[in-house]
A = this chain, B = another copy of it.
Amino acid sequence: MDQLHLQNQLCFPLYALSRQMTALYRPYLDKLDLTYPQYLVMLLLWEHEKLSVKKIGCELWLDSGTLTPLLKRMEETGLLTRDRCVEDERVVNVHLSKEGRQLQKKAVGIPDHIFSELSISHAQLKSLKKELSALLNNLEKKGG
């Protein structure tokens, strides 16, 4: 019964920290008119310029029920365009727009700002990231 205590759960600090971390991003992202999941989409687009909804979903572990309305909002604000693929009409390709590219300049400082608020060493951060990613990959194998 002892295991049914909040303090003995791994999942709770994961859940709480995840939300608090996005709260840490919020003031910076507000200036860019982005939410955290939208920021993640922008990270992908800044790197790849063009991606299908499917690919974005695979990278971010999100499905179309989340992404379709999110991407529509981002299309409305002009950060990207959504176009049916001509070769395969099932696919919707998301393209980075000029405004979307411009926004990258405003975002370059964000990771450093966040890091400086974490009171943690680069080494610790790196090892923590590695552990979490490893766990995530374990789950990936099961699910799909």
Contact = CB atoms under 8 A, between A and B. Distances in A.
Interface of A: 1, 3-6, 8-25, 36, 40, 43-44, 46-47, 59-61, 104, 107-108, 110-112, 114, 117-120, 124-125, 128-129, 131-133, 135-136, 138-140, 142-143
A143 B117 CA distance: 11
Given A3-B108, A20-B61, 12 more contacts: A1-B108, A6-B43, A9-B111, A10-B125, A11-B21, A12-B40, A13-B132, A13-B133, A14-B132, A17-B135, A21-B139, A117-B139
A119 B138 CA distance: 7
B10 A128 contact: yes
A40 B61 CA distance: 23
Contacts of A22: 11, 15
9 contacts: A1-B104, A1-B108, A4-B46, A4-B107, A9-B43, A10-B125, A10-B132, A14-B18, A120-B138
A20 B139 contact: yes
A43 B5 contact: yes
Contacts of A108: 1, 3-4
A31 to B, nearest CB: 15
Nearest to A8: B111
Contacts of A60: 16
Contacts of A14: 14, 17-18, 21, 132
